[in-house]
Amino acid sequence: MDLYVQVLVSGLLLGGVYALISIGLNLIFGVVRIINFAHGEMVMLSMYLTFWLNHLYGLDPYLSVIIVLPVMFVFGVMFQRLVVQPILTTSATMKIFTTVGISLLLQNLALIFWKGDFRTVRTSYSMSSLEVLDIIISVPRLVAFGTALLSIIILYAFLKYTYVGKALRAIVEDHSVARLMGVGVEKHYWFAFGLGTMFTALGGVLLVPFSSVYPTVGVPFTLLAFVVVVLGGLGSMSGTFLAGLFIGCVESFGGTFVSPGLKEAIYFAIFILVLLVRPQGLFGKGKGTEEVGLK
């Protein structure tokens, strides 16, 4: 029994970070309607940035958010302006290939500049853990989960109560209606991209104390984030959060009870299955999905 609870807890903790990374994607995908195959590279870049800030200046990973988040926000905005904006009106194929090309580019630039080594940040709390009722809880994972939860709540409040947030939600819901209602849809693209990238980057930062950084670390996150967004439903923050936790648990249980080598295989299989059975998402309303090829 304890084993199950243990596995469940570690799955949920990991799922929190997954949810955060995916919420960034959901925002970008929902507003800009582009499938960014380089999403995982945002995670990779933020992890490297955190690593170098620690390595060169001894900055604690958690403190480094004050630098990483603004930098990645700007990076997201630049990415939207320079890469995404020019291809917005082109075909789906062009969008896929452009972002795949950028993903290749970023991975291999990282390889060239920072080598293929697995790099880790050692902190005093990296290995520390709490024991609650015989359940071992890793401190950095707990911090990651707590921070993820908190930032998702902040984002939720932002989308719910601010003018810009409402506009973003309207855009996610329906581009043409938002346009009719006087929302400058295109004007919000850069902001949504910056914001989405920033939340994704936060996920990356939170991973650093307990996982290694290497050039291809982001690759699984692109797929993972899409799995979570599809499961949770486009435009649904709470759906994405739940789906993130769910995928964290799938990975944790699959890794423990099936085979560690297959934990990702299991949720990819779930992904294909969900696309087949309920492409509008398990929890989502699925608005706008037709525009991007879902039926």
Partner 1 sequence: MTKNKLYIIGAFVFLVLLIIPLFYESTFVLHMYTLIFFYTALTAAWNIPAFGGQLSLGHASFFGIGAYTAAILYVNYGVSPWIGIVAAAAAAMVGGLVLSLPLIRLRGPFFTLASIAFAEVLRMIAIDWRSLTNGSVGINIPFKPSLMNLTFQSGMPFYYISLALAVGVVYLTYRIRSSALGFHLRAAASDDEAAKALGVNTTLTHFIALMWSSGITGVLGLFYVFYIYVLEPQTFFSLDLFSLQPALNGIIGGMGTVWGPVIGAILMTPLGEFLRFYLGTIQQGLNFVVYGLVLVLTVRFIPGGIVSLLTPMIKRKKAKKTANLPKETEVA
Q: Is the Cβ of residue 106 or residue 202 nearer to partner 1 in the bound state?
A: 106
Q: Are 29 and 234 in contact (CB under 8 A)?
A: yes
What span, in angstroms and rounded, lies between the C-alpha atoms of 254 and 231? Answer: 18
DSSP 194: H
Q: How far is the CB of 109 from partner 1 (least distance, A)?
A: 6
Nearest residue to 26 (alpha-carbon basis) of 211, 242, 220: 242
Q: Are 249 and 8 in contact (CB under 8 A)?
A: yes
* Contact status: 102 vs partner 1 (CB under 8 A): yes
Measuring CA to CA, how many Å separate 239 from each of 91, 190, 235?
29, 24, 8
Binding residues for partner 1, rule CB under 8 A, total 46
Query: Considering the complex, what minimum distance in angstroms separates the CB of residue 255 from partner 1?
Result: 11
Binding pattern for the stretch 191-220 against partner 1, x by CB under 8 A and - elsewhere: ------------------------x-----
Closest approach of partner 1 to the CB of residue 272, in Å = 5
Q: Which tokens sit at 153?
A: 């709540």
Distances (CA, A) of 294 to 4, 225, 283: 36, 17, 16
Neighbour tally for 62: CB within 10 Å = 18
Establish if 82 lies at the interface with partner 1 (CB under 8 A). Answer: no
* Residues within window 255-294 making contact with partner 1, judged by CB under 8 A: 259, 261-262, 264-265, 268-269, 271-272, 275-276, 279, 292-294
Among 22, 26, 46, 107, binds partner 1 (CB under 8 A): 107
Restricted to residues 7-66, the positions that interact with partner 1 (CB under 8 A) are 35
Distance between CA atoms of residues 83 and 71, nearest Å? 17
* 88 near partner 1 (CB under 8 A): no
> Per CB under 8 A, which region of 84-92, 120-128, 140-148, 172-180 contacts partner 1?
84-92
Q: Contact, 35 vs 29, CB < 8 A?
A: yes
Options 57-65, 186-194, 223-231, 243-251: segment touching partner 1 (CB under 8 A)? 223-231
How crowded is residue 128: how many other Cβ atoms within 10 Å of its Cβ? 11
- Residues at the interface with partner 1 (CB under 8 A): 35, 86-87, 90-98, 100-105, 107-112, 116, 215, 223, 226-227, 230, 259, 261-262, 264-265, 268-269, 271-272, 275-276, 279, 292-295
